[in-house]
Amino acid sequence: MTERAHAEEGTGVWSGSWVAERLGVELAGDDTLTGLLGLALRRNPKRAHLLVSNVLGKHVPQSPSVVYGHGVALGRRVRELLGAEAAERAVVLGYAETATGLGHSVADGLGPAPYLHSTRRPVTGVARAGGFEESHSHATSHLLLPEDPALLAGDGPLVLVDDEFSTGNTVLNTVRALHERYPRKRYVVVALVDMRSPADAGRLDEFAREIGARVDLVTAASGTVRLPEGVLEKGQELVARYENRAAEPGPAHPSPSGSVARVDLRWPAGVPDGGRHGFTAAQRERLEAALPGMARRIAEALPAGARRVLVLGFEELMYAPLRLAHALEQTADADVRYSTTTRSPVLAVDDPGYAIRTRLVFPAHDDPADGPGERYAYNVAGAGFDAVVAVVDSAADTPRLHAPDGLPARLAAHVPHVLLAVVPSYVPQAPQAFERPTMLPEPLRGPDFSSYAPDEVGWLLQDLSDVTLEAPTEEREEAIQSGGAHYAESLPVEYQPSEQYQELFHAALETSAARLARAVGAVTEVVLAERSPRPVLVSLARAGTPVGILMRRWAQFRHGLDLPHYAVSIVRGRGIDANALRWLADRHDPADVVFVDGWTGKGAITRELAAALSDFEVSDGVTGFDPEIAVLADPGSCVRTYGTRDDFLIPSACLNSTVSGLISRTVLRADLVGPHDFHGAKFYRELAGADLSPDFLDAVSGRFPDVADTVDAQAKELLSADRTPTWEGWAAVERISEEYGIHDVNLVKPGVGETTRVMLRRVPWKVLARAGAGADLDHVRLLAEQRGVPVEEVADLPYTCVGLIHPKYTRGATGADGKAVAL
């Protein structure tokens, strides 16, 4: 947006016309739709368009009274729908990051309803009340962290608020996850726009019938996006053509840059900065009383003569800046606008018919759980603002914020005056510890459970061998991606390798046994030196279990140690088995426990474990468990304790149960696993004739004497090296997710091990292979050939290979858009 862009406001040019004319995209629906939405392009997309709201206050600066008014109006409509009595018992849930402020505004319009929004920021000391996945998003994992665990447990209506209702997958995932724990009779879905396709329109009613609850929908407008043939290719061409143009204008004024100063809001003590941990009616009253005074302090800090002022919020922190902007609008003699920074990468084009005119880029400054990355402020530079009031929470008031490339400095290059207002991050008091179960069973051991010797590992699991849990891969994939099931609720049918594939396994094992032995020895020596002289090895079932056994064997071979070793279940999105942690804490010092896994991919399980242990500290008051995982290979650079960071073939990844003691992947399903039960798994006794588990262990441990001297040198080198995780793997996965139009990092599986799992258990779409990758990929190429999956060679791939799960999978789907393509 240039200076002329401000002058162009109100000219009647639709901010979606640039994309519509070039791509042939049509926005069809209510007459108000084009006033609510513009269009932009995702950077490096295969999904062509992006809907940009003009009234949400995220990408487009807007009058705060307009933004707040839309949310409050929707809340009043919900109150009319529910009736006064039901509205009094309602709870409102908003979605991070985009709808946190909208949801809070809906709660204000609804009346005294408490408010909670999901978050992507784990908070130390706060237990999760739930979590869910957002399909096809560049950031997917949502946490629910209410201060009061009973907030979601009532039987009143639950009102779910998002900015856009498109496929319905996010809502289905949320309601399914919450209904399982906190069933209720009524849900209301609220969105600014209903953009479902005709194919998706009936899913909400079907889902309501399935769970036996009423589900209503309240929106400000409805319509759909009509896409012509070839829109993806045309979108790619446009992005490639405009990506390197002037998306970020030069400074609006010569050096020195604009001034940066702080303003003390005097935020009321004890009032939360938003709904991350819940927001009650009493807290709302205290905030309302304090807003006029805070607005006066901002107005007094503004430079004389400031006529156009932007209040800029920060990612999930949308409501507090919105209310401050709304109060300032009523206090200051200025044109006040409101928007927020975002994680979402969007192409910027300086044209009045395009929704994202300019882009400011700056580094993340709140120590995000998923690692560092770029953040963005859109339509701020060149918009004619005399001052910007940047509002952040205290958790984001870090040295990175104040670095030369931080947000205030980037703003000051384009705006004469920048004020920084810091709202204290609310940290709730720890709730009462939950009652602990008094009796937990002893670990399962071979030969009754698994083909491993009884002293090799104790399984902190329950035996579900007699339960039918397997489903065809295609049915599982469709259910998982549609939000109809969690991947841990069923098992894939066990892949039985062909004779050719088994020959590849044995050849790979022969070739890599010494390399594996070196990595086993190195990681074990690092653990013994840095973690504990007598560690308790706790492997994450099942991929970590063979590694845990090999580490135990190395400690015995090299040091004469007889280390205890257990296997426990951890489930992405649902955490580690808390009962297993209780069992371990009763019998061992948690400080001696070392969690073990086979390898890292993008680091999802690393973050899952850290969040789960934080929850456990809150729920049980047990401290000392270290979330740092020890792995054989760390190609994603996610941990400090590893044997190697090379991405190479670990033969135990080539097979399923037949190289993991004949044990299935773990299962967590409410009807099978009670609150005082371990997670479940199956023992496939019938596959004993095909079991290669002992062969794998013996082949690797048999090379221990040959590599002992090399391991000593390798361990010494590791112990003196800087092993700080860089999370470069996660960054690569985010980039691939966007470049291939997947928009869901959970469907991108990096590394040889994860790619193999995709081929064995999921519906693969394609395999990306590093150009020149050799024998490490022979088994992947064979599986790809057998399943008809293309292998695409890619230059500069940070992993040896990456497996892509079929996006938007339905049986018969072949394209990135989930539509069948005639062959």
Residue 607: band (very low, low, confident or very high) from pLDDT cuts 50, 70, 90? confident
Q: What are phi and psi of 274, to 5 degrees?
A: 175, -160
Within 10 angstroms of residue 623's Cβ, the number of other Cβ atoms is: 11
Of the two residues 572 and 314, the one the predictor is more confident about is 314
pLDDT of residue 477: 43
Closest CA to 746 of 790, 791, 809, 796: 809
Reported as a single tens digit per residue, the pLDDT across 245-276 is 645 666 655 444 678 999 999 999 889 999 99
Query: How much of the chain exceeds pLDDT 90, in percent?
Result: 51
Give the confidence band of 819 by pLDDT, cuts at 50, 70, 90.
very low
* Cα 802 from chain centroid (whole Å): 19
The reported pLDDT for the residue numbered 811 is: 45
Among 127, 670, 82, 203, which Cα is nearest to 483's? Answer: 203
Structural domain spans, the chain: 53-247, 255-423, 459-720, 728-805
640 pLDDT higher than 80: yes
For residue 641, which amino acid is it?
Answer: T
Please name the residue that has the structure tokens 């739709």.
33
596 touches 568 (CB < 8 A): no
pLDDT in tens, 545-565: 999 999 999 999 999 999 999
Listed residue (262, 269, 334) closest to 299, CA to CA: 334
Rg (CA), the chain: 27
Of 308-312, 368-372, 512-516, 701-705, the range with the lowest mean pLDDT is 368-372
The pair of three-digit structure tokens given for residue 249, joined into one six-digit string: 């204008």
- Whether 822 shows a pLDDT value over 70: the answer reads no
How far is the CA of 452 from the CAs of 510, 598, 650, 696, in angstroms? 21, 17, 19, 12
Indicate if the alpha-carbon torsion angle 471, 749, 511, 701 is positive or negative: negative
Q: What is the pLDDT of residues 469-503, one digit of tens each?
A: 765 544 444 444 444 444 455 566 665 667 776 77
Residues 442-472 pLDDT 10s: 999 999 999 999 999 999 999 998 888 765 5
d(CA 609, CA 574): 10
C-alpha closest to that of 809 among 764, 779, 775, 755: 764
Structural element, H or E, at residue 192: strand 186-194
Residue 138: pLDDT over 60: no
- Ranked by mean pLDDT, the top range of 38-47, 185-194, 220-229 is 185-194
Higher pLDDT, 51 or 656: 51
Sign of the CA dihedral with 358 first, then 362, 365, and 370 last: positive
Enumerate residues 6+ apart whose C-beta is below 8 A from 649.
Answer: 508, 512, 752, 775, 776, 777, 779
Phi, psi of 280 (to 5 degrees): -95, 170
Is 50 exceeded by the pLDDT of residue 186? Answer: yes
Give me the pLDDT at residue 394, please: 94
The answer to whether 53-247 and 255-423 have equal CATH topology is yes
Higher pLDDT residue, 417 or 600?
417
DSSP codes joined into one string, 437-493: PS--PPPB-TTTSSSS-TTT-EE-SEE-TTS--EE-HHHHHHHHHTTS--GGGSEEP
On the question of pLDDT at 344 being above 80, the answer is yes
Stated as kind and residue range, the H or E segment containing 556 is helix 544-559
Asked if 147 and 429 count as a contact pair (C-beta separation under 8 A), the reply is yes
Instruction: Give the residue carrying structure tokens 């839309």.
Output: 70
Confidence of residue 44 (pLDDT cuts 50, 70, 90): low
Q: What percent of the chain has pLDDT over 70?
A: 87
Choice among 211-215, 237-241, 586-590, 638-642 with the minimum mean pLDDT = 237-241
Quick one: pLDDT band at residue 379, thresholds 50, 70, 90? Answer: very high
115, HSE (Cβ side, Cα atoms, 13 Å): 30
pLDDT of residue 392: 97
pLDDT at 371 > cutoff 80: no
256, 299, 365, 405, 479 from 259: Cα distances, Å: 9, 16, 20, 15, 54
pLDDT at 130 over 90: no
Q: Architecture of domain 53-247 in CATH? A: 3-Layer(aba) Sandwich (3.40)
CATH fold of 255-423, please? Rossmann fold (3.40.50)
Look at residue 179 in the predicted model and tell me its pLDDT: 86
What are the pLDDT digits (tens) for 759-818? 876 788 999 988 878 777 887 888 888 888 999 988 878 788 889 988 755 444 433 333
Other C-beta atoms closer than 10 Å to the C-beta of 281 total: 12
Average pLDDT score over residue span 570-586 = 89
Give pTM, 2 decimals: 0.62
Gap between the Cα atoms of 146 and 564, Å rounded = 37
pLDDT of 284-301, one tens digit each? 999 999 999 999 999 999
Average pLDDT of the chain is: 85
CB 323 within 8 A of CB 291: yes
Please tell me the predicted confidence (pLDDT) of residue 815. Answer: 36
Collapsed DSSP state (helix, strand, coil) of residue 787: helix
For 157-181, what is each residue's pLDDT tens digit?
999 999 998 877 778 878 887 887 8
For the beta carbon of residue 467, count every other beta carbon within 10 angstroms: 14
Closest by CA position to 182, among listed 145, 151, 206, 215: 151
Half-sphere exposure of 619 (CA within 13 A, CB side): 20
Q: Which tokens go with 715?
A: 């361990």
| DSSP conformation class of 663 | B
At the top level of CATH, the class of 728-805 is: alpha beta
Mean pLDDT of 207-226: 91
**pLDDT at 4 (0 to 100):** 43
